[in-house]
Structure 1
């Protein structure tokens, strides 16, 4: 099963948790005993020993996080130590200009992702035109094929060298860049091909805050995620760039891509991945490397099925079925227009808040015409549906809500 470790896990903290379990058994703590009975394969034998042993406690800790054993957990942490990156821990003010450009240009999958950062990267580049010459990672962020060739001619090994603010290989900076530059699709593809021709791995990736689902080059290209397409957009040339990576050997089973793109009804990513063998591809390099820390294929597909069924994505279920994925147990929940357009959820948000967040202008219009109050404030963030649309950079939805409120004043 997939690992459920917290972000940035610490081996020392996990060892401390195991020792705490030992103490909990000694004091006959009810919660500790229940945890051991849930996760230990032979709880009665372990608990009836004269002293609850450390290796039993470690086994319980490992199994509680989805690992079969303590050595398997420790082995994963050793791998994660090499590949983990925490973009939220980067101090941009202390960076040189090239590293700062890379950081501002990149989709980081944290709360700072937003168009103003990428515009700031473009402004920085405009004021420092030689930034792509500083190092290969900046050249990749700018998709500057000429600068990339110059760096590689001097040092061919740079194609696979980790560096820049995140310790990524150059291909990742190219795939995660969202800086609005004047380059066209051919320019970006030429830059990517330059790196691939020089030996860049199309399956390059990293572990976001040591999470066991890798963020690959494809993940960066396909984009999106929990914060929505306004704050975490696809690469401007996503279809062509993803196709190039797949043609050059990127594995089509990319769990993080499937997760990030499942929230909206568009299935273009799935169609492209299925065309390149998603349904029946063998183990990916990442699955081989991370082993049991990664979710199984069954878990991957079940999450896709559950989300599609629960959100009325009938076309996605049909697409999965056409490609041999068993969706027979799925019960499609048809979207229903709310009886009360001002009903609040547990966080005080109304259907209009959620429609604004997702940028569904047609639903926003219907809700307003049915009497939804655009001035209502949710209890979690303390803002209106317009505020939700603005925060999500759903500009069309924000403009519609703003104009509606102006008309009704």
Structure 2
């Protein structure tokens, strides 16, 4: 789920009110509140809505959730940021290394790493952001989030130097997800070579699959499958492998079925959606964590312009009144935002 940006004039009292509003929404058994709690409080992450509502929620829980919703690790860190915003200037040698990465200066990078061998293990902290909150140098080779809009032609060699110099395995895994979900590596023609390098260095190809699917990076998805990632129900649903989806459906978990519906709706896989709905998957549930979980399948289909999918979901009982948890828009609002007039007119007739 995307994190929210702090308001321009954010203050701690206003955020305390948000925490109390969350407690009220939890008490009222609001499904949007359940989704937000599930996303940002790990102890609730595997619980269905009824279990979340039946579990007491303390004010400290609500405050922690609000902090994480704005991209901070804790309420105390959020309060500290409001009192004194963090300096995002990179440490000197780390910043020099990032500049060398961006320039594709392999010789300069080797010299710097030889002089400061611990640099590949160092993390920098960027709180208050959607992701990329604690990167090492290796993550900067993915250009995700976008900083420059391009990558040097020799970025694979740059990444190889960082890995050989001691980039930790968690950073290799994290970089795989960033590469698989980033358009810049694909546009620069280095996405698949980077994936191959990272997997050869120990990254599990399965760990890049969810980011790749969520962002529709199918070149990355096919590379991951070739490198040994599992063909699961969500993967088959996203790619449109109807026969595989039918075969995998029977033994799949409820979570995988919900994830498959999220991807099938996002990418317009009508026949697979019908299979999933016939199997009893709820058309109204919020998408699972990691798959645009601030929205429902109907939101995603309305945004992408899949009219037949929208109609099928509505006919099977998808709720039109659920709002996404970030922008507070209904599926109708998403269709209007995307300029999908046919879907907008249809949803207006069903309101």
TM-score tier by shorter-chain length is 0.3 to 0.5
